[in-house]
Every structure is written in structure tokens, then in C-alpha cells.
Amino acid sequence: MRKLIPLLSLALASAAFAQKFDGLAATPPMGWNTWNTFACDISEALIKETAEAMIASGMRDAGYVYVVLDDCWMVKERDPDGDLVGDPAKFPSGMKALGDFLHGKGLKFGIYNCAGTKTCAGYPGGRGHEYQDARLYASWGVDYLKYDWCSTGTANAQETYKTMRDALHAAGRPIIFSMCEWGTAEPWKWAADVAHLWRTTGDIIDCYDCITGWSTGWKVILDKQVELAKYAGPDHWNDPDMMEVGNEGLTFAESRAHFSLWCMLAAPLIAGNDVRKMTSEIRALLTNREAIAIDQDPLGKQGTRFYIGGGREIWTKELSNGEWAVCMLNTGDAPADLAIEWERMHYFMRGQYSVSDIWKGAAAGDTKKPLTVRLDSHDVVLLRLKPLK
């Protein structure tokens, strides 16, 4: 028994570490990530200019606080101590200084690595270095880690991501853990106590519904979220990937629909455009408080597709205080007059509601009469419903 006691306390101690940091993502994380627009072409100047633009545009104050360096921030080899090294040509002041800069601006510092031996772009991965890397990230002031799944061979996703979760917890700095396993091992079924968010699909690109190998447009990703709503909630979100809002391959309507539907999904809102150069329309879209409030609603329910047919989809999302969000998408190639017949929703909504149109910023009647709206191809109407007294 005497011999068993130290073993038992060791087991208890490691069990105490085997957890993620709770409460870091009570609502879906919001921020910006380098990958969608800049891929490997990243630098300290880009991050600093972007941070300033996030402040000047009102993005930071609207909630976009995580500034995430994706792949390609490192040099190709670890140093003699086995530590990762930020590329001094890209980040001459070093990673700690970059974290300090972001914190000084009221922003948070996010970084990327990969669970395999190499990142997807061929930089050193985290496999076998989890605890060492977690301590390094903590020492740099990292607040968010995106962890990819390239070069993992036959590794088991659940075990591998748990190792990194435990390493982050042991390092002691609260860091949001964002799994990027592409949905291959159905993380929604097991990752609620492993990560704060997990990718559900392959990569997004800036088109409506194109498919280019591993990468697809946002509509293709949207279709894959239909069955996943029940797995999401505070501190454990489905991640349908970073946004392409404002990027070249989308019309304004498609950007607006993409943003609206990501809000309906309670998706992490990680912008992926060049915020230094965005138009005032895109700025207004990304910073719209009413739309963001749908995404960030404290009830933390992911929206579901209520209806599909007749060239439209209608999505609904339950909000706190008995309110609802409703979003109708014109899936056709031409403008159309499309209707929402409220009475069809009465089996899950209770009573009657007033309706406000978020993109018009105006009242849109109530649910006593069907609502018909003219929508451009791939555009949406985004509505908030409040119970009528």
C-alpha cells in the first residue's frame, strides 16, 4: 500500500493536468488569420499594419481580438535545444516582442503549428515536442493555438490532440486550443473536452460553391454543417473555417451571405481578408453589431437548416430570451422574390414575434403575415425575431 500511495498521487496529479482551460471561448472566438489572403507571405510589418487597421476599422472593438499567425512563421529547423524559432527575416523583433505589441494594442496573440512531424508548408511540427513547445508559446504570451494535422502518419487524432491539450494546460498560460484536423476523425463526437473549437472540413477558398481538390467554397462547407449543430456549445465550437468575406472570388452578396450564415452557425468569426485595404461595405459588414450578436449569443446554440427548396434555404438559430435569428439564402442564379411562411415554424417557435431586418437596419413587420423579400442571387435576408408582448 505504501508503494501504491506515491503512484496514486502521481496518477491523480496527471489527471488534474488532463484538461483544457475552461471559459476561454464562452462565445465563438473572433479575430483575424493570415492564411486565406497571405499564405506564407507574412511579416512583422503585415501583422502590425493589420493590427492598426483592425483598431482603426472598429474590428477590434466589435470583438475581433485574436490575431493569428498561420503557417510559415518559423525557420525550417529547430534550434540546438530543440526549440522552435521564429523566422528573423520575417519577424526581426522576435515572437515575444510581437506578442507584447499585440497585447499593447488590446489584441491577443495567436500562432499555428501542426500535430505531425512537419507543418503543411514543411516547417517543424510539434510531434514529440508538445510540452516544450507549449512552454515556449506561453513564454511568448501566446493566447490562441491553431493545431493542424499534416504529416501525422498513422497517429490517432484523439490521443495526439489530447497530448497537446495537456501540454498547454501544464504550461499554465490560458490558451485557446483550435484543432485543425479537417473533420476526418469526426472531432465533434469527442473533442468537447479536448479543444475550444475544431475544424469540420477541408479548406475554404474564395468562391461560392466551387470545389478545387481539398478546397471548396463556403456553400459546400455550409452544407456539411447541417448535422453538426447538436455538438456545439460554449467552449466547444464547430469551426467551418476562417472567413473569405471581402475576398476577390466572392460578390458582395456572397460575402454578405457567407458572413450571415457563419453568424447563424455560431462559427468562430476569424476574418481572412486584407483588412488594411477592405472597402467600407466590407468593413460595415464585418463590424455589424446586430449580426455579431447573433453569432455571439450567450445561449451558444448553432443554427440549423429549417427548409431547403424552391431556390432557397431558411436557417434558424435559437437565441437567449426567447428570441430567434432567421436567415434566408437565395441559392438560385438570378434575383427572386422569396417567401418565409412563419406559420410553418410554429411547432418550435412559440407565439408571434416582431421581425427586424439586420442588413436594412429596419423593422420588417411581424410573424402574423408571411414575409416576401426580393433577393439577389446568393444574397440573404438576416432577421431577428423578438416575442410580441
Residues that bind ligand GAL (CB under 6 A): 35, 70-71, 112, 119-121, 148, 150, 180, 203
DSSP SS3 for 17: helix
Closest residue to bound ligand GAL by CB: 120
What are the residues facing 111 on neighbouring strands? 145
**Which CB sits closer to ligand GAL, 180 or 253?**
180
| CB 202, min distance to ligand GAL, A | 7
In the complex, least distance from residue 263 CB atom to ligand GAL, rounded to whole angstroms: 20
Tell me how far, at minimum, the Cβ of 314 lies from ligand GAL, in Å. 30
| CA dist 88 → 25, 43, 228, 319 (Å) | 32, 10, 41, 46
Rounded to the nearest angstrom, the gap between the alpha carbon of residue 298 and the centroid of all alpha carbons in its chain is 16
Beta-strand runs (E) in 149-202? 176-179, 197-199
What whole-number distance in Å separates Cα of residue 9 and Cα of residue 26?
A: 32
Residue 354 contacts residue 366 (beta carbons within 8 Å): yes
DSSP, res 105: T
* Active site positions, annotated: 148, 203
Q: Is residue 372 helix, strand or coil?
A: strand
The CB-of-146 to ligand GAL minimum distance in angstroms stands at 7
151 vs 356 by CB, closer to ligand GAL: 151
Q: Least CB distance from residue 70 to ligand GAL, whole Å?
A: 5
Q: How far is the CB of 387 from ligand GAL (least distance, A)?
A: 40
Which C-beta is closer to ligand GAL: that of 64 or that of 182?
Answer: 182
Q: Is the dihedral of CA 280, 283, 285, 291 positive or negative?
A: negative
In the block, which residue shows the cell 501540454? 167
AA letter at 205: I
Nearer Cβ to ligand GAL, position 17 or 214?
214
Instruction: Write the burial class of residue 10 (CB in 10 Å: 0-12 exposed, 13-18 middle, 19+ buried).
Output: exposed
| Comparison of 112 and 259: residue with beta carbon closer to ligand GAL | 112
Closer CB to ligand GAL, 183 or 246, in the complex: 183
CA 135 to the chain's CA centroid: 24
**What 3-state class would DSSP assign to 339?**
strand
Cα Rg, the chain, nearest whole Å: 22
